[in-house]
Every structure is written in C-alpha cells, then in structure tokens.
Amino acid sequence: MRRGFLTFLAMAAVIAVWAAKPKYVFVFVGDGMGMGHVMATETYNRTVLGNDDNILMMRFPVASMAMTYSASSPITDSAAAGTALATGSKTKNSMVGMSPDTVAVESVSHELKRKFGYGVGIVTSVCYDDATPATHFAHQANRKMYEEINRDGAESGFDFIAGANTLARNDKEKTARIFDGYRKNGYTVAGSIAELKAAKPGRKILLTAPYEEGAAQIGYTIDSISGAATLPELTRLCLDHLKEVSPKKFFMMVEAGNIDHAAHGNDGGAVVKEVLNFQEAIQIAYDFYLEHPDETLIVVTADHDTGGMTVGVDKGPAQPALKNIDCQRISKERFSDLCAKEGGDTWEAMKSLLSEKLGLWSHIQVNEMEEARMLESYGRMKAKAASTQKTLYKDFNEFTAIVFDILNHKTGFGFTTFSHTGNPVPVFAVGEGCEAFSDLNNNIEIPQKIRQLTGL
C-alpha cells in the first residue's frame, strides 16, 4: 500500500513538472559554434579577462550535446541543420523546411503562432533569409531560392524578422519585389535601426541592418564598425517588440551567424569576439528569465561545427597565448581588403601595418623564419603573382592567409578545415522544463522537446 502511494506521488510529481508550460521560449543558435569555439572563448574569459565565472551559457544548469548529421551527409550544411533545429525533421543538405522528399515540414515557431497565437521573432547577424532563419518560415527545395523563401517569409505572419540584408541584395529588381511582398503583407520594412524607430511600425516588422552596401552580415565585433548594428542590439529590439505586441507568450530564435563566417575564414580572434558578443545577446534573454523564472525557457546550441577549431596546435606555444587576441584590431576579411587597397609600398610599411592592426612585432614576437615566410609572400603579392585562399564567404590573398596562419599558431589556435565538420555541438539550457534537454544526442530532439513542453 505504502509502495503504491509513493509511486503515485512520484508520477504526480512528474506530471506536475511536465504540466508547467513555458510561455516564453528563446532558442539561441551559434552558427558554426562547436565545443572548440566555446572552449577558446572560455579560456580567453578565464586567462585574459580574469573571470572566475564561466561564460554565461556554460553556467546554465543543463549541458549536453547533439549530433548534427543530415539526411544526405555525415557533414551537414546550415539548411539541413537549421531545418532539424526548427522543425525536428532531418533533411538533405541545401533544403529549407522540407523533408528529403520535398514535403513541407512545419517549424515549432510557426506551429506555436498558428495554434496558440505566440508572438514570433527571428533575429540573425547575417542575412535574414539565409538558411538558419529561413527554416523557421520557408519551405523550399533549395536555400538559394531567395525570392520564394521571402514569399514564404512575407506570408508567415511572424512579428519581427531582422538581419543584415536579403541574399538577393545584388539584384535590385528582385530585392524591390521581395520588400514589396513584405509590405503587401502588412510589414513595416526598414533599412536601418534609425529608419525603424522613425517609422512608427505596426505589429509586423522586417528590419535589415547592413553596415555597408552588399554586406552579407552586420559586421564583425572585432572590427568595431562605427554605426553598425550589433546582435545584442537586434535581440533587444526584438524582445521589446514582442513584449509589446505579444506580452503573454512568444518565441524567439536568435542566430549568431558571424561565428560561422569567422570560422570559415579560420580567424580565431574574430571567433572568440563573436562568441562573446553572442553571450551579450543571451544575457538579454537571461535577464528576462530572471524576471520570469517559472515561465521562461532558454536553449543555446549550434547548427554545426565550422573549422574544427581547437585550443592547442602542433608545435605551438606550451601555454596558449590568448592575450594575443587583444592585439588584433581587425578581422581577417577586412585585413585582406586593406591589403588589396593599400598593400604597403614597402615591407617596412607593411610591418608597421601588421604591428598596428595585429600586434605583430609590437606585442607579439616574430622570429626570423616567420618573417621570411611573410616577406616572401608579400613579394608575390606586390608582383601580383600570389595565390588565393578560397573559403565559403571570402577569397583571401595569400599574404593574408599566411599572416593569420602564423597569428593563429602563435596564439595556440588550430583549425582542421575551412568548411564544416561532423563534430557534435553543445547544448545548454536554463528555465522551465530545461531538464528535458539533459540527455540529448540528436539535434532534431530540440524542437521535439519544445513541442512537448509547450503542449503542441
């Protein structure tokens, strides 16, 4: 009798836990953020910034990991991984919001809006119609079907969509049609934060915040671009808007897309600064959680690992020198552009530039062999005989590639590829129902758990 009563109490407790439904759901996706990227940032946080506490996401009570393979490959792309995280269904690489046999699959965000009237906000530091954000509102066979993806976005009814620009930005006629489609569906379309604030927007907002014409992202944190939007700033705008238009319940997906861009370029210093910037965005949601601890769920994860980043490299420093990151004042992308524009009239002028922008010689010792390697490549660059390092988002001149290879090595960062890997990714969670994410082993389980917790 006593045993039966205890069993009843245990079951009742389980039911009570699962009966509590989070009203506010935040999903943060560090695009390309593997555990190496997290540990590089945590090591910098501890050894350079001198913080005793771990970075915020590592302080969450739940920490697990998830495999990321797609239906077509052990190494996923962002479209297939985004579809898995948004819908709970595996699909083939390049497909957005569809099953492998091209049947539309619904995202948990869209389902929460359709069934329960949740407010929905989608925020990214890259193009808002890129793979990961698009999987929440689009159903297309290929991630490059930009006009069709945007047609789905305009019809989604989502309350706030923000990012750098449209991927169709280089086709002015197509871009005009895309933005007109949003306007016809009741969206306020703004090309900057200032424009948005001046527009007195309605319920539905599409915000593009490029830092320069043609940019595919809002700018790297390490570049400190004056006037550029930041991921925390966009996160705050989205949260404030949802609190106004849907105060009782909402869902937010925030993607730190610039982590992926930096990792594709094997720019270790920029990766760390982007993960820290990601933490600032998460902090905004965490502050909200502290005000609503029994009603809020926050999940932090990644779509895949990019670059295979490590702390520790063959024949590198015995103690990683992450203080070198503070000497880096420019991203690999902008440095490559700077070399193309200026190049330095002499090697001494280039050394001065390397000292100013990256701390080489002034703060970071350079040996004779390293200087000879750079000097030889500099000569080829000046003679326009240098090769090119091709990566997904940027083609780097050979000189820049060699400089950053040396910088990474001296800092203690290693990379295995310029592309994605099949490594698992971290999952961190806090808030109502977070225990459900403690035993994950696959990315499709994340939206499946959110469905269970919210009663879908």
304 is in an annotated binding site: yes
64, 72, 78, 246: the active-site residue: 78
Pairing of β 160-163 and β 62-66: unpaired
Instruction: Strands of 213-267 (E only): list them.
Output: 250-256
**126: DSSP letter:** B
User: In whole angstroms, what separates CA 287 from the centre of its chain?
Assistant: 20
Half-sphere exposure of 380 (CA within 13 A, CB side): 14
371 is in an annotated binding site: no
CB-CB contact of 262 with 39 (8 Å): no
* CA-closest candidate to residue 412, choices 58, 43, 46: 43
Partners of 26 in the beta sheet? 252, 298
78 catalytic residue (yes or no): yes
How far apart CA 227 and CA 441 sit, in angstroms, is: 41
264 is in an annotated binding site: yes
How far apart CA 320 and CA 248 sit, in angstroms, is: 47
CB-CB contact of 265 with 216 (8 Å): no
CB-CB contact of 237 with 196 (8 Å): yes
Spatial CB neighbours of 424, under 8 Å, sequence gap ≥ 6: 35, 65, 66, 67, 68, 305
Cβ count near 435 (within 10 Å): 13
159 is in an annotated binding site: no
Alpha-carbon dihedral angle through residues 258, 139, 187, 123, given to the nearest 10 degrees: -20
Q: Copy the structure tokens of residue 65.
A: 């990991």
368 is in an annotated binding site: no
CB-CB contact of 393 with 270 (8 Å): no
* Residue 307 falls in which region: left (phi positive, over 0), alpha (psi -120 to 50) or beta: left
Binding site membership for Mg(2+): which residues?
31, 130, 132, 255
Binding site membership: which residues?
31, 130, 132, 255, 260, 264, 303-304, 420
| Active-site annotation, residues | 78
Binding site membership for Zn(2+): which residues?
31, 260, 264, 303-304, 420
